[in-house]
Structure formats: C-alpha cells, structure tokens
Structure 1
Amino acid sequence: MTPEIGALGRAEAGALSRAALRQDPTAVSAAATLGVVTLAQNDIANARRLFSYAQMLSRRNITTQLWSIEDAVGRGDVGGALRWYDITLRTKPDMSDVLYPVLAQASRDPSIRGALVRKLANNPPWSNSFVGYAAAQKDDPQNTAALFSALQVHGVAIPSTAQTSLVNLLLSIGNFDQAWRYYAAIRPGATRARVRDPRFTAMIETPSAFDWATLSDNSIAASIQRTRDGGTFEFSAPASIGGPVLQQVQLLPPGSYRLSGHSDGIAQDARALPYWTLICRGDERELGRVVVPNSARAGGMFVGTLVVPTDCPVQTLSLFARASDAIGGTSGQIDRITLSPAGQATH
C-alpha cells in the first residue's frame, strides 16, 4: 500500500487481506493493511476498529503504530500520540529518522513540549538519542533551549556535548542573551561581569565558547592541567612561531575592567612576551591589551585595564603567545586570571 496505488490496487489489497484473515485471524499485517484500505475509502469507524484489532494482536506493526500516532493527533490527544511515539521508538528504533523531525517541530507548542518533557523524564531508551538529535538542529535553537531547560528542571541529564553544541549555536546566530541564559543554567554561579573559572579548576571535557578553550595546532601546544592547588594553563611554541593559545567569549557590559593574574615559567625578551587581548567579536576591534611580563618580575603578577565600549556587546578574551627568537621558543604557565569591573575586588 503506497499513495500511488489506485482504487483497483486497494481493492486487490483488501481482498488479499480478508482472505489472509479468514485463514489466520492473527495475521496482524493483513489487519493493518485492511485498515489502510478502509481508511482510504473514508470509512473511519471501521478503519479504527481494524487498527484496534491489529493493536491487540501486536504492538510491533509499524503501519498500526503510525496510524495510531496520526489518529491520536487528529483527536488532539497529545498524551496518546506520545504513548505511541514511545511504543514505536522502543520497538523500531530506526523509525527515529521519520519521527524525530516531526517530534522536534511539534515541541515548539508549549503544551506538547510539557508532555514530551514528562515522557522523557521517565527515561525511555530513545531519550538520549532524541536529545542529541534536537541539539544538532540549527533551524530553531531557541526551541531546543526551552526544551533542554525544561528537561533539566525535571532532572533529565543533558549530555555535555549537546549542551555545548546548543550554547555555541545560539551564539553563532547572534542570540547572545538566550545563549547566556542557557549557559548560566548549566553553569550555576556564572556571571557576565567576570571571567569564568579564574583558576582553571573546572576541567570541562567539552567546553562551550563561554568556557576556557585551548587553541593548539601542529606547532603550538596548549592545555589545562590539574595541579595540587587546582589547575594551570600551560603553553609552548617553537622558535619563530606564535598565535592565540587560550580564549573565552565574554558578554561584558560597557565600562572599564581590571585584568590581573599570575604566571610562571615565562622568560622572554620584551618583544616576545605573551599578552592578553580583548577583541570585539562584531568587527574584530582590539579593545585593549595587557602584556604578561617575565615571571621573575613582581612575583609573576600582572595587571592592566581594558575598556568595553557601548557598541560591542560580545567580546573574546584571548592569550597570545608571541613568536620568540630564542632557541627553545616560548613557553609558560598561567595559574590565575581575573577580569572584573574596575574598582571591584577580585578573587
């Protein structure tokens, strides 16, 4: 039975199905096929009776399952439709290719989203798979954020990869406020007015753009390492090679900010010293630069001021390792970095 089959083909399918059921009343495929034929004849009552009979015989027939979903949707029975989604995805996981797009789109309706959240809170076997699918969709990340937030309220764990994907996607389309709201929900205590994880203790496996991101390539090595006192950022680059090694996206309100921190192992000529810079993401303007002096100076402490203008809502704080002529190249560690409104205490 396909949409292209005409009346003659449907009549033949109906006759074969009736013959099969006379020989074997438990022939679920025959009952389901006869239900489709009857439905095509607009005999809704008998079609429903036949599909109900097929449901009684088996919960594994895909025709019956899909009709049951459509029938529940047609009657406005959200709970019934989701119950059949659940049954179908449990017995036929490969039907996710057909059902996930419809389910994701339907979840834009708050009433359907609420029912879906309650269903996923029961941890069906397809829960993680659907969450991963939803996180990868780029057409409506705002809806995905609302769905994920509701799931977290109901105690449903969202994989860190899905969380990171959603935050970065919202940022990429310019939805900065919703990206931050969702990030703040998954990183309790995060604030827009300060750098996050100032002592590199979080050790996040899949960091988002609002977390520290190390930047490595075939030449430059950069990593966050756990230490006895918490954590530290380490970098190294061969002679004559430089570039960004660490960054974190900021949503700093306009104003002056004090950047300070502590380094170890940095020993370079003045023109090869690493530096922190704040770049406006909209037009790549440099909003300020703070050079990290040699660690032997001032006990490794460094401090400077950065100014955020009113026309730059999103910034990137980056550490740059400058190319060095030294035989051993350049290397060092940063074990503390703070960025907070000027005049406020840092910690």
Structure 2
Amino acid sequence: MARLSFRTTAVMIGAIALGSLAFLDAARASMVEINPSLAVALPGSEDAQVRLLSALMGQPDKGPPKAAAMAVARERLRDEPLDGDALNLMAYVSDPTGRSAETRKYADLATQVSKRQIFSQLAMTYGAASANDTVAALDRFDAVLRSRPDAGALFFPRLRPALASPEMRAAIAGLARDDSPWAMDFLLFSSGEPQFSPFVSDVLRRSGTAVPERQRALLGGPLVTRAFEAADYAGARDIVALVPGGSKALFTSPALSERSLDTRYGAASWSLPSSAAGSASATGKGADVGLSVYATGGAHDVVAIKNLLLAPGRYAMSHALVAGMNAAEGADARWRLSCIGRSDIWISPNLLAGEGTKRTFAPFTVPSGCPAQRLELRTDVVFGQPSIDFTVRNLALKRASAAN
C-alpha cells in the first residue's frame, strides 16, 4: 500500500469526521417525533429545552430556525454558563456540517466543558485535520471513542487506511502506551485485513512493553496469529515477544513446554486439533511436559501442529517416545515438516516402529525461499485395528553440520 503523506492523513481524518457527524447523532435520536418550533416556545426549563433540541441533531430538517435554537441555548447559559449541552447545541445550529469557524468557536468551548460532546469533538477534529495537525485530530477521536465506545464500529473501517501513514502509526502507538481503551481493539480490527498487518506490527513495535500488560496478555495472541496468517512473519515474531512470558524462540523451537503449549501465544503455540478418532493433550509439568497421543481404528488425523520460522539450513530433530501399548500392525504415526503453502521438507519414519524410547532422526534441509514451516504429528490406524496411545517428550530441534 502506498505511503500516505502527513497532509493526506490529516485530510482523511477530516473526511472521517465529516462523514460521521450526522450518523452518530441521528442514531442516538431515534427520530424523536416532536414539533420543535412549538417546543422552544413552551415555557419552562431551558435545560429541558436544550436537551430536547439536542435530540434532533443530525436531523436539520426537523429543527427550529437557527435564531430560535440559539435563543434557547443563550437563555440556558445565563442560568448555567458552563452548560456543555447548550454550547454543543450552539455549535450544531451554527453549521450542522461542522465546517465553519463559527461552529468551532462554540465547539471549542463545549469540549473544554465536557469531552463527551460528540458533535463538537467531531467539528474540532475536522478543524485540526484542516490545519494538518494529525496528532490533535486523533486526540479528538480519542475523546469521542472514550465517551462512545460503540462508535468504534463506525470509525474503525474509516480510520484503518490512515495506518499507511507513519505519523498516524506513531500517534496510535502513543495512545496504546497511554492505555487508550480503544487503541488495541482498533489494531486487532485492522489486523483482520492482511494488507494492514505490517502497519499494525509497526505500531506495536513503536509502543512496545509500554502497553499495559493486561492488554498485551489479552490481545497479543490474536495479533500474533493475524500477523502469521498474513505472512507478516517478522511482525509475528516481534509481537509474540511482547506477550507477557513470550519469546521469539517460540517460533524457532518445537520444544514441548508449559509455555509452548499455552494458547495465549497464538500461532506461536502448539495447536492440538482433535477428532472422534484421534487426539493429543498436554501431560506432565516442568521438564516432564509431553504430548499424550491417542488414536483408534479408522484414525487419519493430524493431532498436533507447531508453526515455525526457521532460517534456511540443515537441522536434526530428536524426541523420546513411550508407547502405552504395543503398536498393532497397520498403525502409523509420523512427524511431517512442510513449507507453508508449498511442498514437504521432511517426513519421519513410523514412530511406532522404532526400537527404544530415545531417537534422533536423519537431518533434513530447510530450503531458501521457505520463510515459514509447519510441523505436524499425524496418526493413521487401519479401521478395525486396536487403538494406540503413546507419549512424546524431550522434543528438540538442532542445527546439523553440512557433513551430516
């Protein structure tokens, strides 16, 4: 995606603000059925009249004349000079599009009184964006989304393209560091489109461990998975290191551990799919962690998957296997390593046919042009044959010399 200029980013934010003005306020009004001209003429509380007219924002054809609405707001300000709703109403009736200097005059006052004045915040967003002040415009968006979390459904799709701008990414990173309640949700939303994954990864690199730990623990795993699935492998590697307890080594080792079997690390963790015929589960603790595998007759299942990001070169894998019962004829279990989206790299001999518990397999080569790999454990048992079960421990992968 082309890099957006600083000015282009500001213009985009301004357009987002303008496109959101009518939507937000019309949605909250639910099309109140009143006669506004009659309402402003009724005696009584100016506060109630201001609230009544505020409910009509986003429906300019239903509002009273500008002078009448202004009179109600001014009357309210005589009683309560710091009434944010009255100032917000004045900003709106001055120019429902939110573009004029007169609107921003009242909007500025309204947002100083209360950050929850949505129309005024959006009008000020447009003003900041028109002045090419991306950071100030985003600060206004932050205020809107803090006061109206439901507005994310409207803003996020429109704000996402602006991630192409380094200035925008720096600003979002700052909000993430400051524990903005919507910044990480926005990044998770944006990572759903593969072309934005590198931008999301850049934001997370910029924000680093300054993002509160609870946020990194909650959303880090899904962000790792989104980056990996988008083939943003550098991003996946960097993000997993930001998840509490995580490490880049999770992508370079298939070792079985409580950490590598913990799903909070997303695509860097072991995945243990299961079916009615075959499954694998974690067993043991500490140095004794392993995979307990079970398969019945008719099983043809991958029961364990580990994503890896190995550099090109020669490797050798080893493990210790303990069979729970003698493998019947027609039972088969093998490791399979492949380039993701491409061909196999290596398939082990039948694990159930070897002698002894410890085994080091013949070396294999990860070729260049194979940035990501998938290690799978597959079981096959002929229908009608007895069930099998075994446990794998001490799984290791080491560099092998070229001579091997």
Fold-level similarity (TM above 0.5): yes
Q: Tell me whether 1:278 sits opposite 2:337 in the alignment.
A: yes
Give CA deviations for 1:93-138 in whole Å, capped at 9, x if unaligned: 2222233344444343223322332233222344554444344444
Partner of 1:208: 266
Aligned-residue offset at 1:191: 7.4
Q: Tell me whether 1:17 sits opposite 2:69 in the alignment.
A: yes
Correspondence 1:327-338 to 2 at 5 A: 328-338=386-396
Task: Tell me if the contact between 1:293 and 1:300 (Cα under 8 Å) persists in the aligned partners.
Answer: no
Whole-Å Cα distance in 1 between the matches of residues 113 and 234 of structure 2?
Answer: 52
Task: Tell me if the contact between 2:205 and 2:238 (Cα under 8 Å) persists in the aligned partners.
Answer: no
Aligned-residue offset at 1:167: 3.2
Correspondence 1:1-347 to 2 at 5 A: 9=61, 12-25=64-77, 26=80, 28-39=84-95, 44-157=100-213, 158-160=215-217, 162-183=219-240, 186=243, 187-190=246-249, 194-196=252-254, 198-202=255-259, 203-227=261-285, 229-265=287-323, 267-269=326-328, 271-285=330-344, 287-293=346-352, 297-324=355-382, 328-343=386-401
Q: 1:191 to 1:214 in 2, by over 3 A?
A: closer
Aligned-residue offset at 1:37: 4.2
Q: 1:65 to 1:42 in 2, by over 3 A?
A: closer
Partner of 2:11: none
Task: Tell me if the contact between 2:221 and 2:264 (Cα under 8 Å) persists in the aligned partners.
Answer: yes
Whole-Å Cα distance in 1 between the matches of residues 91 and 116 of structure 2?
Answer: 16
Q: 1:126 to 1:304 in 2, by over 3 A?
A: same
Whole-Å Cα distance in 1 between the matches of residues 231 and 155 of structure 2?
Answer: 29
Q: 1:53 to 1:309 in 2, by over 3 A?
A: closer
Whole-Å Cα distance in 1 between the matches of residues 308 and 302 of structure 2?
Answer: 16
Aligned-residue offset at 1:56: 4.5
Give CA deviations for 1:193-248 in whole Å, capped at 9, x if unaligned: x523x132314123433332112123322112332534111111122313211121
Alignment RMSD, CA only?
3.5
- Tell me the SS of whatever aligns to 2:362: strand
- Aligned pair count reads 339
- Compare the two structures and name the one with the higher helix fraction: 2
Between 233-242 and 174-183, the greater mean CA deviation after superposition: 174-183
Aligned-residue offset at 1:62: 1.5
Task: Tell me if the contact between 2:250 and 2:268 (Cα under 8 Å) persists in the aligned partners.
Answer: no
Task: Tell me if the contact between 1:17 and 1:30 (Cα under 8 Å) persists in the aligned partners.
Answer: no
- Tell me the SS of whatever aligns to 1:174: coil
Whole-Å Cα distance in 1 between the matches of residues 294 and 391 of structure 2?
Answer: 9
- Tell me the SS of whatever aligns to 1:140: helix
- Tell me the SS of whatever aligns to 2:361: strand
Whole-Å Cα distance in 1 between the matches of residues 97 and 273 of structure 2?
Answer: 64
- Percent identity (aligned): 19
Task: Tell me if the contact between 1:278 and 1:306 (Cα under 8 Å) persists in the aligned partners.
Answer: no
Give CA deviations for 1:31-62 in whole Å, capped at 9, x if unaligned: 43442343469994432222233334533221
Q: 1:261 to 1:57 in 2, by over 3 A?
A: closer
Whole-Å Cα distance in 2 between the matches of residues 199 and 42 of structure 1?
Answer: 58
